[in-house]
Amino acid sequence: MAAEIALLETSIKLRHRGPDWNGCTVAGKHILCHERLAIVGVESGAQPLTNDDESLILSVNGEIYNHKALRKLCPPTPTSRHSQIYKQMDTDVVKHLDGMFSWILLDTKKNRILAARDPIGITTLYQGWSSKQPGTIYFASELKALNEECDRIIAFPPGHIFDSETGKTTRYFEPTWWDGENIPSAPVDYKLLRETLEKAVRKRLMSEVPYGVLLSGGLDSSLIASIAARETQKIIHGQVPLNRDGDDVDESAVASWPRLHSFSIGLEGSPDLAAARIAADFLKTVHHEYTFTVQDGLDAIADVVYHLETYDVTTIRASTPMYMLSRKIKAMGVKMVLSGEGADEIFGGYLYFHAAPSAADLHKETVSRVKNLHYADCLRANKSTMAWGVEARVPFLDKAFLEVAMNIDPQEKVSVKGRMEKYILRKAFDTKDDPTAQPYLPDSILWRQKEQFSDGVGYSWIDTLKELSLTKVSDEAFAKASERWPKDTPQTKEAYWYRDIFEQWFPQEACTESVVRWIPREDWGCPADPSGRAQRVHDAAYDKSA
């Protein structure tokens, strides 16, 4: 009972992720606690889930988009009302899941625990161990549930499954593009690229609660919003059946929230707010625009670090506006949003990619960046939104879309004069060559130059953070940074400031192992500052003569 109470108290630390209900199941020496965010199966999906004889207990965070196909693959039997694909496939079950997920499965008959995380790490998952409890293994969606109990904590690797029978964690996700040394040579198929992304968005229109799209006004979020708006309108106007033949996509959201809502945030007069307004007007979404002040952002920094569980500079810069926007979204009763993370990593969209020495180098970097998304943009999207009980879904990281986009000849992704970053993605949705086609976006958005989110919300945001850090951190303290933190020493006063806040929330040494700082490729001659404006190509792109 004492252990159960202790775990329940720990679970409360994650209630922001699942404010709708909570559950706890004890089976032998195993305890599973769950804080639920109800989006699908609102009235029937209380967790942890059990099968008919309660021999299988499951706690899962995320969404399985191909659940209809899985039911066909393994239908319920006359003696069981549940589809039990695990009994048929054992650990191979995870290879058949299409979605975003972290889950723990307890097989009580075998006294066996399985833990798995989605291929790219869209959802968060941590694993911990305590020297005070040898042999005990802990799992949680966030670091804060483990840091006081465990003296070793890792970010559970995406695309892997842990099996207590073997004690091993093995990679199940093995796409063709995983080895970055194998440089692909396939020409770009614009139609395939477009249709695969459209289906990725359509899959994610699965919800029994109000949903929307995050709309920064940049290319990536605007494309996702455009596709979502189109799919919604097709169904509303009867152009396709709700469950189209041969398509196992669950489009339940359209029935309950038929008009698409979009959300944007920025400082007064920011580039993103202006661009998002243009995109929203074009797409005819119900648009919600929020402005924040620099002081609003500064007031939120400590809480952002607490929820993000990182001290990475670019993640904190970009997460603060997203964190504040998520609070507004939740206040409207919206619990799920589509977002545009992943495109820059896939297509070499960050401005520092202009400095890639060769197409092969660019490809290797895209593979590396996609593999490490769970430390950066996936972590930001998940934790910034889940801090307020909102789920972010990211179509660009769809497995099928990745298989297409990551196998394109990287020469097609190289930015040269007259061919801006993410050219092939823009071209795939450019309808000017077809006079009968309805444009996806206005040209001013489809061909808008890259602004990293932390820049686009207003340039004074980053400028103020850098200036304020000069007063927050003394020269004397900064000079001793390597003594205080010999490992992963902060290189700027801004980085020092965030590291100091992180340590206040998470003083245990085990908490730093799961943090990875992201900086551009200095070996390519890029500035260390991750801001897009720090890259030379930013200003050149706004010079029409360049």
DSSP single-letter state for residue 44: T
339 annotated as ligand-binding: yes
Q: What are phi and psi of 284, to 5 degrees?
A: 60, 40
* Rounded distance between C-alpha atoms, residue 182 and residue 513, angstroms: 30
Give, in order, the Cα–Cα distances in Å from 62 to each of 94, 342, 516.
14, 18, 23
340 annotated as ligand-binding: yes
70 annotated as ligand-binding: no
* Rounded distance between C-alpha atoms, residue 260 and residue 280, angstroms: 10
By three-state DSSP, how is residue 545 classified?
coil
Give, in order, the Cα–Cα distances in Å from 488 to each of 465, 495, 496.
21, 10, 11
For the CA atoms of 230, 233, 237, 241, what is the dihedral angle to 10 degrees?
70
Beta-strand ranges (E) seen in 148-300 are 152-155, 160-163, 168-171, 211-214, 261-266, 286-291
Those residues with Cβ within 8 angstroms of residue 150's Cβ, 6 or more apart along the chain or in another chain:
128, 129, 130, 138, 510
For the CA atoms of 175, 97, 383, 199, what is the dihedral angle to 10 degrees?
80
DSSP 463-501: HHHHHHHHHHS-HHHHHTHHHH-SSS--SSHHHHHHHHH
Burial call 430-456: b when 16+ CB within 10 Å, e when fewer: beeeeeeeeebbbeebbebbbbbbbbb
- Token representation of residue 214: 């995050």
Please name the amino acid found at residue 346.
I
**C-alpha 303: how far from chain center:** 19
Is residue 48 reached through a cis peptide bond, with omega within 30 degrees of 0 on the bond before it?
A: yes
Q: What are phi and psi of 216, to 5 degrees?
A: -85, -15
Q: Of 455, 303, 459, which is closest to residue 383 (Cα–Cα)?
A: 303
Alpha helices in 12-147, H assignment, sequence order: 67-73, 85-89
Can you tell me which residue has the tokens 């929307």? Answer: 212
Q: Of 120, 123, 285, which is closest to residue 213 (Cα–Cα)?
A: 285
DSSP single-letter state for residue 93: G
* Rounded distance between C-alpha atoms, residue 299 and residue 292, angstroms: 11
* Rounded distance between C-alpha atoms, residue 356 and residue 414, angstroms: 8
527: number of Cβ within 10 Å: 15
- Token representation of residue 255: 């029935």
Annotated binding site: 214, 265, 339-340
Annotated binding site for ATP: 214, 265, 339-340
